[in-house]
Structure 1
Amino acid sequence: MGFAYPMQKFQDWLTQQWVIVSGRKINPENYPWLIGPFGNLDAMSEDFIHQFAEKENLIVEKNSKTKGIIPSMLKLNLSETEYSNLSKNVINFYENTSNHDLNFSIKWNPIFKFSGILINKLFSNRINQLNIPTKNIDDSESLKSEIINLIDLRTNEIKYTFWFRSIKSTEKVIYSGVYGICNLPSGKTCVKAVFPLPNGNATVLMNPSVGKNGELILNSSGKKFGDAGFYFLLKDSKGEYWSKFVRSFRDCLIIGSENEMIAAEQVLTLWNLKVLTFNYKIKLKK
């Protein structure tokens, strides 16, 4: 059995050791669909991106012509019927994310609210990642949204797209993730969101489909390792890779458009119980 890197915060070590004990050891070369950037022991910030880019021999491009978290929605490999029915405004949002303003509200299930407070105190506030407000937000709160692309020097292509989202009023980072697309072992194409954590990351893989009103549905309700779902990935003290598929945690995002206004609902569940709900209002910048 492996052991987590010892010289770090105890809560980080304990979480990583749980992944090692309850997860599986993997060879990263055999799991390209799962691999993504790891965080260091410091807080997530733009400094981290520059350090990561230097380590990987990549160029940081903040004002790229490509401003979306998904360069082309065609890469989702939807059927012709699904793609033709998909809202053009939703396509424009994903391909030109930086051109949109975002507002959100949050509603917690009271059963899980204390858990959210505990996670924020032990992890999120310190590492500046997954820093979800622990109070219900009934009125729309404005989000600052920024896209940063990392370019491969050899191919001049985008290798990673970081999407920073922070609350404008407090400047607290809610999400700092790397977004893209991957193909699962089954051949299914998924939207991939990687959130760097100390010595590892949390990754959400979501199956895309299109609803009857042209809305995009992204669902992470897989049943086994290799399906869409929520994964932890880390390196232990010897540099070996370990991963844990958390079947009980699921994420469902539905994003659609009506009267030129884009609206989205994101529901996080644990053991089939609703944990919290995000509601987003999205519109083109003037």
Structure 2
Amino acid sequence: MSLPTARLDLLTRQFWRLSGRPVDLTGDEAWLAAPMSPGPSVGDAWVEPTALAWGGQALDRPHAGLLADMAQLDGSGFRAADLRPEIRDFYEHTSDWRMEVWTQWSPLFQPGGELVSRLFGRRVQQLALPTRPLEVAHGMDSRVTVLTDATGAQRAAAWLRTLRSRGEYVYSGCYSVRTLPGSTQPGVHVAFPSSRATSRSS
């Protein structure tokens, strides 16, 4: 990491420490706990270590989905059986679906998006939002990797999206089912892992 980017990362960490508050990831706020990348960039570096920490594996299964079964979300306010079949199929067999992508930013916000992408997104390989139409002209690749626990059951899924033109990561997300404190209705928990090494460097 160069000196200017190291200073930038230090300033952003100081900002969040001043403006944020501590959370207890082993107590009341455990639902916020999310995987982290062990290195300076994210991409798919967090996937296998996370599965190993759960005693499981990271598997590229055919027809893999963000959720093993939408019925995991059944509760007083939701029934998977009531969904349109194509919606349920998307969540349970996400890797069978393909995306068509186009991007167009407002001229007012495009410079800010480009700045964030250049300073953080592309370097960290996470949330590197394309800001120009030509960046997605060749399309975006999508890969779903299942993360199992020690029993072999799907505990989460990594949804990894890369630009076909450059192979760079755009999104690297972890999808699982969790229930918020005070609620009995399960929901889809989406986390975008950050870099543990970057967050601890000084």
1:19 aligns with 2:19: no
1:37 aligns with 2:35: yes
Is the 1:75–1:181 contact (alpha carbons within 8 Å) kept by the matching residues of 2? yes
Residue number among 171, 174, 199 corresponding to 2:170 in the alignment: 174
Q: Aligned runs of 1:156-171 on 2, under 5 Å? A: 156-171=152-167
Q: Which residue of 1 aligns with 2:147?
A: 150
* Structure 1 counterpart of 2:179, one-letter code: N
Could you tell me the TM-score, scaled by structure 1's length? 0.59
SS at match of 1:29: coil
- Structure number having the greater helix percentage: 2
SS at match of 2:31: coil
Could you tell me the TM-score, scaled by structure 2's length? 0.81
Q: Which residue of 2 aligns with 1:215?
A: none
**Offset at 1:165?**
0.8
| Cα distance in 2 between the residues matched to 1:164 and 1:150 | 13
Aligned length: 195
SS at match of 1:106: coil
The 1:101–1:191 alpha-carbon spacing in structure 2 relative to 1, beyond 3 Å, is same
**Offset at 1:149?**
1.7
Q: Aligned runs of 1:1-286 on 2, under 5 Å? A: 9-30=6-27, 31-62=29-60, 64=61, 67-77=64-74, 83-136=80-133, 142-153=139-150, 155-187=151-183, 188-199=185-196
* Structure 1 counterpart of 2:57, one-letter code: I
**Offset at 1:119?**
0.7
| Cα distance in 1 between the residues matched to 2:56 and 2:78 | 38
The Cα offsets for residues 158-191 of structure 1, whole Å up to 9 and x where unpaired, read as: 2331111112233221111111122112314332
The alignment-based identity, stated in percent, is 26
| Cα distance in 1 between the residues matched to 2:51 and 2:81 | 37
| Cα distance in 2 between the residues matched to 1:184 and 1:55 | 23
**Offset at 1:127?**
1.1
Q: Which runs of 5 or more structure 1 residues have no equivalent in the other structure?
A: 1-7, 201-233, 238-286
The Cα offsets for residues 141-168 of structure 1, whole Å up to 9 and x where unpaired, read as: 5321111122222x22223311111122
**Offset at 1:116?**
0.8
| Cα distance in 2 between the residues matched to 1:141 and 1:66 | 24
**Offset at 1:22?**
1.3
The 1:37–1:81 alpha-carbon spacing in structure 2 relative to 1, beyond 3 Å, is closer
The Cα offsets for residues 221-277 of structure 1, whole Å up to 9 and x where unpaired, read as: xxxxxxxxxxxxx9768xxxxxxxxxxxxxxxxxxxxxxxxxxxxxxxxxxxxxxxx
SS at match of 1:50: helix
Q: Which has the higher contact order (CA 8 A, sep 6+)?
A: 2
| Cα distance in 1 between the residues matched to 2:136 and 2:144 | 25
Is the 2:44–2:172 contact (alpha carbons within 8 Å) kept by the matching residues of 1? no
